Amino acid sequence: MLKIENLSKTYDNGIQALKNITLEIPKGMFGLLGPNGAGKTTLMRTIATLQEADTGTIHMDSLDVLREKEEVRKILGYLPQEFGIYPRFSAEAMLGHFAVLKGITGSRVRKETVKHLLQVTNLWDVRKQKLGTYSGGMRQRFGVAQALLGSPDLIILDEPTAGLDPQERHRFLNLLSEIGENVIVILSTHIVEDVRELCSKMAIIAEGRVLLSGDPRAFAAELGGKIWQKAIGKDEVETYHNSMAVISTRLLAGRPMIRIFSEAPPGNGFEPVTPALEDVYFTTLRQLDNSVTA
């Protein structure tokens, strides 16, 4: 169990990136969902011992994450949103180098470890290719391979599917579902589908604060009978936004389809729909916007 209590961080420019964050993150896949600029990366970097917090604590069982950084790094696998590679090195050579840095110095064990991780991430057949020739999805899978070195107990993945095409994203999510069974895996993302497909626990964070934390399916169930949708004309979008609690708008066959939150049937042609995690996400962010403007 990873326990975060009252964690805050304000940068020198005055931006308060984290505001008394408190979370309990159990073993398994945990989704940290929020818009760009929500504070997700700051939180991930703090857990990964890459920057200091102003106040608060982080413990992983009996380990004090903020004070025992070297011990944390021994059990940590981290894939940042942007990570560098040496484009002229092969995946096999580069992963072998990372293995040495991770403390896997025995030649035989290192070779077996590298082989296993490249097989797990479906990169074994292209192990001799230079990393500079890899596609975006292949690079992400290589990033996961290096994050898995040393059999970490805590794995942090910051926006791992951003920029991937649908096929690469599907492969990547399948890989994550396999590795997230016996360790703590924190998936930080702004892509709702990633959390919906992978995570049994989640939190929504925005403006440096935790807005919601728990079981995504339970949150969706709580919205039962309160989400409605209707196809409208493009010239009606602004009118509905001004008069109803619109939580999302998307195009369907070139025509706007709006979804609204309403405790009672709104009438006017709206039909009830089964709530999805996307509805939970947008409803939660809308409530934050309303509290700010109130």
pLDDT tens-place string over residues 138-194: 888 898 899 889 889 999 998 888 777 888 788 778 888 887 778 999 999 888 888
Mean pLDDT of 105-122: 92
Mean pLDDT of the chain: 90
pLDDT in tens, 248-281: 999 888 889 999 999 999 998 999 999 999 999 9
Domain ranges of the chain: 2-215, 221-293
In this structure, is the dihedral angle defined by the CA atoms of residues 71, 77, 81 and 82, taken in order, positive or negative?
Answer: positive
Whole-prediction pTM: 0.87
pLDDT in tens, 73-109: 999 999 887 777 789 999 999 999 999 988 888 999 9
Mean pLDDT of 19-25: 96
Are residues 30 and 188 in contact, defined by beta-carbon separation less than 8 angstroms?
Answer: no
Token look-up 């959390």 returns: 195
Mean pLDDT of 18-22: 96
Backbone angles phi, psi at 160, to 5 degrees: -70, -20
Tell me the C-alpha distance between 291 and 137, whole Å.
39
CATH number belonging to domain 2-215? 3.40.50.300
Long-range contacts, 251-258 (Cβ 8 Å, 24+): 255/231, 256/231, 256/232, 257/229, 257/230, 257/231, 257/232, 258/229, 258/230, 258/232
Bridge partner list, 184 = 28, 154
Residue 36 has pLDDT above 90, yes or no: no
Residue 289 has pLDDT above 80, yes or no: no
Q: Which of 20, 190, 158 shows the shortest CA–CA distance to 82?
A: 158
